[in-house]
Amino acid sequence: MSEAISGRRRLTRTVVSIALMAAAGALVVGGQPRVQAARIERPAPVDIGSVENFAVLAAATVTNSGASHIIGDLGVSPGTAVTGFPPGTLDGMMHGGDPVATQAQADLNTAYNDAAARTPTAVVSGDLGGLTLAPGVYRSASSLGIAGTLTLDGQGHPHAVFIFQMGSTLITSADARVELVGGAQACNVFWQVGSSATLAANSVIAGDVAADQSITVAAGTSINGRALARGAAVTLDDNAITRADCGPPGTLGISAPPGAVSLGTVPLTSAQVSGLLGTVTVTDTRDIDPAGWITTVSSTAFVSGPSSISPSNASYSPGEVTLTGDDVAPTVTNDPALSVAPGEIVRATGGTGLNSAAWNPRITVTIPAGGIVAGTYSATLTHAVA
């Protein structure tokens, strides 16, 4: 059974019973994680707002020669002129000086200034060709160039961010390439160009090229990202430009066995009944740093008609926790008495938000002396992760 608690949280209950009889289990799936605030080791992405819909955006004009193909919107503001379509083709909307383009230019200015203000993690200069770079913010006081291949290595993190800040121009040589490896995505690459960008013939560029003035894209060059000029024109010539889209962010979730779980049948004279709930799994794909999480469990009373057993008569032992993915350190709380209030059971610290953990907890119920009648006692355990 699945019950929506809010737009961000879901509950799924697993009934556990003991026959005396008693027991129960349940779980929380998904949920919007509460991320411990703000220390991000890798840079945060640049929020481009409504520019996300655009592949090409200029301030003055967009001009095209040849059979350019644009996937995404094309816009101009405060100018209105777009020429060369056709022969160019557009899989998207054209916005010539309308309110949509005006808002996109405003959002571009915000994004550009955000990128320019980031604290650099490294200083670079000259030609970036031949380098392999990890996620970070790279600053040059003057111009940057790319001759040959620049490799951006996400190091296994699909949300790794690369920001390039330059005081003046970005100029590529013919046949230059920006290659993405290790999970890096073009939507998380941002080129903040202090003046103008010139992308030479047959270059293959990844990321959003945001120039203070103009962008000139020579024949045969492709961009997996965007050409964004906030002060002047974008000039195209037989190009392929596809707006980059990262898709939804990663999530933090928890699952446990669906359906009903029975701990068994024992006589009323028994002191305890014990059994395994089944595998509980936490999956973290948020790809943030640091990325800890905490799981909790709570329980209702074990009830059979008018008779009940307090949840404090039951304990929960996670036992061995199996981890996969990045290097997180688990802390396990074994045999805590259950309660209607959530109690911590497994905590993970460290890591970078790409991991999973699994355990098969043992539930032990102590049968109180006197006042208990025969029957099937059921409770609901609720697992949560944040």
**Same domain? 97 vs 188:** yes
pLDDT digits (tens, 9 = 90+) for 4-36: 222 333 343 444 455 542 222 322 222 222 222
The 10 Å Cβ neighbour count of residue 3 is 9
Vertex 127 angle, CA 224 and 157, to 5°: 45
**Same domain? 170 vs 278:** no
Residue 198 forms part of a structural domain: yes
**Same domain? 165 vs 307:** no
- How many domains does one find in the chain? 2
**Same domain? 25 vs 93:** no
**Same domain? 139 vs 218:** yes
**What is the predicted pLDDT for the residue at 19?**
56
**Same domain? 230 vs 263:** no
Amino acid occupying residue 82:
V
**What is the predicted pLDDT for the residue at 10?**
34
Mean predicted confidence (pLDDT) in 27-54: 59
**What is the predicted pLDDT for the residue at 18?**
58
Residue 120 forms part of a structural domain: yes
Give the lowest-confidence range in 54-68, 91-105, 204-218, 287-301.
Answer: 287-301
pLDDT digits (tens, 9 = 90+) for 149-186: 999 999 988 889 999 999 999 999 999 999 999 999 99
Reported as a pLDDT band with limits 50, 70 and 90, residue 325 is: confident
**What is the predicted pLDDT for the residue at 119?**
97
**What is the predicted pLDDT for the residue at 175?**
98
**Same domain? 144 vs 25:** no
Tell me which of 242, 266, 285 is where a domain ends: 242
**Same domain? 305 vs 377:** yes
Q: What is the DSSP-derived secondary structure letter of residue 86?
A: T
In angstroms and rounded to an integer, the radius of gyration of the C-alpha atoms of the chain is 29
Looking at every residue in the chain, the average pLDDT score rounds to: 87
Tell me which of 219, 242, 265 is where a domain ends: 242
Mean predicted confidence (pLDDT) in 336-358: 90
Mean predicted confidence (pLDDT) in 274-285: 93
148 backbone φψ class: left, alpha, beta (φ>0; ψ -120 to 50): left
Compute the distance between CA of residue 288 and CA of residue 34 in angstroms, rounded to an integer.
Answer: 12
- Provide the residue range defining the domain that includes 14: 2-33+251-385
Phi first, then psi: what are they for 172, rounded to 5°? -100, 155
Residue 148 forms part of a structural domain: yes
Phi first, then psi: what are they for 311, rounded to 5°? -60, -20
Residue 39 forms part of a structural domain: no
Mean predicted confidence (pLDDT) in 289-305: 89
Q: What is the DSSP-derived secondary structure letter of residue 203?
A: -
Give the lowest-confidence range in 228-242, 249-263, 336-350.
Answer: 249-263
**What is the predicted pLDDT for the residue at 172?**
98
**What is the predicted pLDDT for the residue at 4?**
29
**What is the predicted pLDDT for the residue at 17?**
54
Separation in Å, CA 352 to CA 144, 152, 329, 355: 31, 19, 12, 8
Query: Is 67 within 8 Å of 87 (Cβ atoms)?
Result: yes
Compute the distance between CA of residue 138 and CA of residue 310 in angstroms, rounded to an integer.
Answer: 59
**What is the predicted pLDDT for the residue at 12?**
35
**Same domain? 184 vs 235:** yes
**What is the predicted pLDDT for the residue at 267?**
85
The DSSP secondary structure of 322-377, one letter per residue, reads: EEEES-EEEEE--SPBP-SS-EEEEEEEES-S-EEEEE--EEEEEPPSSS--SEEE
**Same domain? 107 vs 237:** yes
Percent of the chain residues topping a pLDDT of 90? 70
Mean predicted confidence (pLDDT) in 79-86: 97
The highest-confidence range among 279-293, 307-321, 362-376, by mean pLDDT, is 307-321
Residue 41 forms part of a structural domain: no
Residue 43 forms part of a structural domain: no
Compute the distance between CA of residue 45 and CA of residue 280 in angstroms, rounded to an integer.
Answer: 33
**What is the predicted pLDDT for the residue at 41?**
52
Residue 318 forms part of a structural domain: yes
**What is the predicted pLDDT for the residue at 354?**
86
**Same domain? 222 vs 284:** no
Residue 40 forms part of a structural domain: no
Tell me which of 224, 242, 260 is where a domain ends: 242
| Token digits of residue 199 | 């992308």
| Token digits of residue 374 | 């025969």
Q: What is the DSSP-derived secondary structure letter of residue 244?
A: -
**Same domain? 206 vs 331:** no
Per-residue pLDDT at 39 exceeds 80: no
First CA to last CA distance, the chain: 22
**What is the predicted pLDDT for the residue at 22?**
27
114 backbone φψ class: left, alpha, beta (φ>0; ψ -120 to 50): alpha
Q: Are strands 27-29 and 2-6 parallel, antiparallel or unpaired?
A: unpaired
Measured torsion, CA atoms of residues 111, 115, 118, 120, in degrees rounded to the nearest 10: 170
